[in-house]
Amino acid sequence: MSQLVFQSATQMARMIRDRQISASELLEAHLAHIGQHNSRLNAICNLNQATAQMRAQQADEALARGENWGVLHGVPITIKDIFETAGLRTTAGYIPLKNYVPQQDATAVARLRAAGAVIVGKTNLAELAGDYQSTNSLFPRVNNPWNVDYTAGGSSGGSAAAVAAGLSPLDLGNDFGGSVRQPAHFCGVYGLKPTDRRISTAGMIPEVPGMPLCIRQMMTVGCFARSLDDIRLCFSLLAGADPRRPDVPPVPLDTPTGKPLSQLKIAYTEQWAEFPVAAAIRTSMQQAIQTLTTAGAQMQPWLPPGFDLSQLLQLYTRMALYNQNYAQPRDRYTIRRSLELVWRTATQGDKALRPMGDFSRFLPEMVQPSLKGYFTALTERDRAIADLDQAFAPWDIWLLPVAATPAFPHCPPWSAVNVDGRAYPHALANGAYTMPFNLSGHPAITIPIGQTPNGLPIGLQIVGKRWQELELIAIAQQLDTLIGHCQPPPSYQ
């Protein structure tokens, strides 16, 4: 059974089409695997067993009639509990939504259903997708399948843990500051954050149902898988204009250039000077760079001219605050939660590192946001995007760490993180390498490239040009054959 559940979604679909296995048999294998392991991980928070079994049976009956629903016909998948699913409870880990059952699928969910996927359950997450660990007030915390005493990351920790442990071959997540890339890095799987507004966010919380659509920049819909073929397939199904989101432009999918490795110009940054990464991450980065250089790639250390990390992170924070300000009710609980985040990021961690992650300086704008302030931040963001586009033009991709730290032991929300003996502010330990690309909108993918001495996964972030996701994935596949290191955690095989 374990060999079956660790196949790729693409291979599972092929096996169903070729009648090597039925959709019902495949689903039952996953349900058995979930029953054996999920209680230790808490990755799936809402199992959709009865409906999934009915849908799998319908998939088998359709195939017997010669009907094929699509490229994921009969394949069981999971969905992060931030996306609305018609008839299936959607909570976002938020107490006021504990009994919320949507009437309509999120657009991304509807597109996966239309391709024939069977939704086996919803995956656990950080409350309202607002933390780099996956804890909330409704469900037990998500544990890392490589070591359950460690976090699986956030906010899509349940997604990454489920895919890594074989509970699901494919999961739908979202990324506003690293919520796909960081959990993929922590759990040893592939995770894609596409170009800003490439995929519709219709039907996705953290805008609590009934609130206005506020998060209009930097929020992306991404996916997790154990195969880059599955990442490409899922992205291709999800991308495109949506009548429910008129601001999603009808940009056609790009065509990969097919450049061989020897013709690729690859920029890399081993670490930000301001936030050095853990030694194990730096070692894996250096080994990957050396392997690619030996294989003939044109590699060069690089930072964009005039690159100012502090300025970019401050602009990201301002944009995030303006986008989120009206997305959730201003009740006592939400205000207290927000102030706790601000206080901990301002007071915890090495004093020399705190200023860059100190959100307290933006309290006046949080309390009294202004239209002028919002448009000023938008204008500065436009300038940052244009500057990076221009600087990045000579390069095919840019390689960077995903975070300053590998997975770390569970800790209180937003508390400092130990990085090789130094206390880093929580947001910066986890997001300093990902937030700049939510700000700029560039697509980025995490691939696993190694492990720490104590056996935790290490990922590499590969950044591509905006609107060129298929080129990014194609290049990532070339690199993956040389430096990739995706494998199941030992206890789940």
pLDDT at 363 over 70: yes
Whole-Å CA distances, 15 to 21, 133, 181: 6, 36, 29
Strands 422-424 and 417-419: antiparallel
85-103 average pLDDT score: 97
Give me 89's structure tokens: 């409870």
Inside any domain, residue 488: no
Q: What is the pLDDT of residue 222?
A: 98
Based on the fold, state whether residues 96 and 208 are members of the same structural domain: yes
Contacts 24+ apart (CB under 8 A), 252-257: 253/469, 253/470, 254/467, 254/468, 254/469, 254/470, 254/471, 255/470, 256/470, 256/471, 256/473, 256/474, 257/471, 257/474
Based on the fold, state whether residues 212 and 330 are members of the same structural domain: no
Q: Which domain holds residue 384?
A: 269-472
State the DSSP code for 270. Answer: S
The CA distance from 281 to 458, in Å, is 6
Q: Which amino acid is at 399?
A: L
Q: What is the pLDDT of residue 196?
A: 97
Inside any domain, residue 71: yes
Inside any domain, residue 410: yes
Tokens 């996701």, residue located = 469
Q: What is the pLDDT of residue 61?
A: 98
162-169 average pLDDT score: 98
Based on the fold, state whether residues 299 and 167 are members of the same structural domain: no
Q: What is the pLDDT of residue 344?
A: 73
Based on the fold, state whether residues 321 and 412 are members of the same structural domain: yes
pLDDT at 356 over 90: no
Based on the fold, state whether residues 308 and 450 are members of the same structural domain: yes
Based on the fold, state whether residues 201 and 333 are members of the same structural domain: no
- In this structure, are residues 54 and 23 in contact, taking their beta carbons and an 8 Å threshold? no
Give me 49's structure tokens: 């067993």
Inside any domain, residue 260: no
Inside any domain, residue 261: no
Based on the fold, state whether residues 291 and 200 are members of the same structural domain: no
- Comparing 213 with 338, the larger pLDDT belongs to 213
- Look at residues 238, 258, 283 and tell me which one is the last residue of a structural domain: 238
Based on the fold, state whether residues 293 and 217 are members of the same structural domain: no
Q: Indicate the pTM of the whole model.
A: 0.97
pLDDT at 1 over 60: no
Q: CB under 8 Å to 220, separation ≥6 — which residues?
A: 174, 175, 176, 180, 193, 194, 195, 196, 197, 198, 199, 201, 438
pLDDT at 121 over 70: yes
**Residue 459 bridge partners (DSSP):** 448
Query: Hey, which bits of 271-392 come out as E strands?
Result: 298-301
- Comparing 340 with 138, the larger pLDDT belongs to 138
Q: How many domains does the chain have?
A: 2
Give the CATH number for residue 328. Answer: 3.90.1300.10
- In this structure, are residues 166 and 33 in contact, taking their beta carbons and an 8 Å threshold? yes
Based on the fold, state whether residues 38 and 161 are members of the same structural domain: yes
- Comparing 359 with 178, the larger pLDDT belongs to 178
Based on the fold, state whether residues 172 and 282 are members of the same structural domain: no
pLDDT at 332 over 80: no
Residue 329 pLDDT level (bands cut at 50, 70, 90): confident
The CA distance from 150 to 191, in Å, is 19
- Look at residues 223, 238, 253 and tell me which one is the last residue of a structural domain: 238
Mean pLDDT score of the chain:
95
Inside any domain, residue 124: yes
- Comparing 322 with 433, the larger pLDDT belongs to 433
Residue 32 pLDDT level (bands cut at 50, 70, 90): very high
Tokens 């990076």, residue located = 388
Each residue of 228-282: pLDDT tens digit? 999 999 999 999 999 999 999 999 999 999 999 999 999 999 999 999 999 999 9
Going by C-alpha positions, the residue among 321, 340, 333, 344 that lies closest to residue 137 is 333
Inside any domain, residue 490: no
Query: Hey, which bits of 243-364 come out as E strands?
Result: 265-268, 298-301
pLDDT at 328 over 80: no
Say how far residue 98 (Cα) sits from the centre of its chain.
23
- Look at residues 238, 255, 279 and tell me which one is the last residue of a structural domain: 238
Inside any domain, residue 481: no
Based on the fold, state whether residues 315 and 443 are members of the same structural domain: yes
Q: CB under 8 Å to 383, separation ≥6 — which residues?
A: none
Based on the fold, state whether residues 189 and 274 are members of the same structural domain: no
Each residue of 434-456: pLDDT tens digit? 999 999 999 999 999 999 999 99
- pLDDT over 70 for what percent of the chain? 98
Each residue of 369-390: pLDDT tens digit? 899 999 999 999 999 999 999 9
